[in-house]
Amino acid sequence: MKVLGLFLLTALAEILGCYLPWRWLRQDGSAWLLPAAAASLALFAWLLTLHPTASGRVYAAYGGVYIAVALGWLWLVDGVRPTRWDVLGACLCLAGMAVIMCGPRPG
């Protein structure tokens, strides 16, 4: 559960760090969004270092969580409700993440 929470926080930091420059460029946002975006992306990179397993495995599993969080962002921030196909795809990605993170390891 702790690792999943860390994945969720990591995904939010990455999405926010990418959303703020997008908002600045596409929606005439303030340039003050850019330092916040840089801080969010730095937080994202730091959070990735806190995961308890090899970096390649973390990056692979994180992708599944990122997809699910991005669809949540689509709904909550962009106001676009994910389709059943979006949800199915996210569930498949989360299942893949669970296999990667919970599978047996050679000892």
107 belongs to a structural domain: no
Q: Which residue has the tokens 């390649």?
A: 56
Over residues 37-92, the pLDDT tens digits come to: 999 999 999 998 898 777 888 888 889 999 999 999 999 999 999 999 999 999 99
**pTM of the predicted structure, to 2 decimals:** 0.83
18 belongs to a structural domain: yes
| Helices assigned H by DSSP within 1-107 | 2-26, 33-49, 55-76, 84-102
Tokens of 63: 């992708």
Over residues 42-57, the pLDDT tens digits come to: 999 999 889 877 788 8
Instruction: Give the CA diameter of the chain.
Output: 54
Total count of domains within the chain: 1
Which residue range forms the structural domain that includes residue 65?
2-102
